């Protein structure tokens, strides 16, 4: 079946602009996660959704970052007033609610802020 | 989550078996052991998980020590495509669980 998809695959933007990153999880996966990976570094957890609610937003690095999920499906990560340090690969993953450590990752969105 | 210790890197030749060790001595009794890998320029990929018994799937085998303080991911015949960073991640498999990736083991596979 279809895996997790993310769009766009690459995004180049200018400092100060807003960007929206999209994630389509595997059908039936009610848990959805956003992570960030800077070049040469490990994954950083950003936010988790269970259904449409986000019980854990602790990883969002600043109030410029926000995320929403609708219809227990698509999620959008929005970064306002992008900064150069936001340059990274943004990864989305989804899982079944009873298998929360078996997460399936999308290919990521490579964001470059100039 | 339990702390983990993995070798920084390992090397293998194509077609040979590879045993990737992980120490997780502080693992709790109900924690599962998950393994993920990350190929170059790709997102992490789930490999296998287990609780107590050894597990096999189409990608790999997982051998779990009797005291559960260590485990070994076994690739039976390494291919060039298996070159990746491999992470072992112990922890519960229910309730909200973010994945915490350590430094992992970088596996190099030579033709």
Window from A12-16, A25-29, B87-91, B93-97 with minimum mean pLDDT:
B93-97
Residues 6+ apart with CB under 8 A from B79: B14, B15, B109
Q: What is the DSSP letter of B69?
A: S
Q: Compute the C-alpha angle B85/B48/B108, nearest 5°.
A: 25
Residue of A86, A38, A93 whose CA lies nearest to A62: A86
Question: Chain A residues with CB inside 8 Å of B101's CB?
Answer: 42-43
Min Cα separation A35/chain B (Å): 9
Chain A interface mutation, best of B51, B99, B103, highest count of A Cβ atoms under 10 Å: B99
Mean pLDDT over the full length of chain B: 91
Residue carrying structure tokens 């019980």: A55
Answer whether B55 touches A (CB < 8 Å): no
CB B32 within 8 A of CB B88: no
Answer whether B21 touches A (CB < 8 Å): no
Q: What pLDDT score does A21 carry? A: 98
Q: Does position A91 have pLDDT exceeding 70, yes or no?
A: yes
Residue A76 forms beta bridges with which residues?
A: A22, A68
Residue of B104, B110, B68, B63 whose CA lies nearest to B86: B104
Answer whether B44 touches A (CB < 8 Å): yes
Question: Chain A residues with CB inside 8 Å of B45's CB?
Answer: 105
Window from A12-16, A19-23, A63-67, B92-96 with minimum mean pLDDT:
B92-96
- Chain-centroid distance of CA A22 in Å reads 7
Q: Does position B2 have pLDDT exceeding 80, yes or no?
A: no
Q: Is B43 within 8 Å of A56 when comparing Cβ atoms?
A: no
Residue of A83, A89, A50, A51 whose CA lies nearest to A64: A83
Q: Is A102 within 8 Å of B43 when comparing Cβ atoms?
A: no
Q: Does position B62 have pLDDT exceeding 80, yes or no?
A: yes
Of A42, A91, A99, the CB nearest to B93: A99
């Amino acid at each position: 079946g279809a895996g997790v998809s993310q769009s766009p695959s690459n995004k180049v933007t200018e400092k100060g602009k807003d960007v929206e990153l999209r994630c389509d999880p595997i059908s039936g996966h009610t848990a959805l996660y956003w992570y960030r990976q800077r070049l040469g570094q490990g994954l950083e957890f950003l936010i988790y959704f269970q259904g449409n609610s986000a019980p854990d937003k602790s990883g969002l690095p600043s109030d410029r970052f926000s995320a929403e999920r609708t219809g227990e499906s698509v999620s959008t990560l929005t970064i306002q007033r992008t900064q150069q340090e936001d340059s990274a690969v943004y990864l989305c993953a989804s899982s079944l609610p009873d298998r929360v450590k078996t997460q399936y990752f999308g290919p990521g969105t490579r964001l470059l802020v100039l | 989550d339990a702390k983990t210790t993995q070798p920084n890197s390992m090397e293998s030749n194509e077609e040979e078996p590879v045993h990737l060790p992980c120490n997780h001595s502080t693992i709790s009794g109900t924690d599962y052991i998950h393994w993920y890998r990350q190929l170059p320029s790709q997102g992490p990929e789930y490999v296998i998980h287990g609780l107590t018994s050894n597990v096999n799937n189409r990608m790999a085998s997982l051998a779990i020590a009797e005291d559960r303080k260590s485990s070994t991911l076994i690739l039976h015949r390494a291919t060039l495509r298996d070159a990746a960073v491999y992470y072992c991640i112990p922890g519960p498999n229910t309730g909200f669980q973010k994945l915490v990736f350590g430094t992992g083991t970088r596996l190099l596979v030579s033709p």
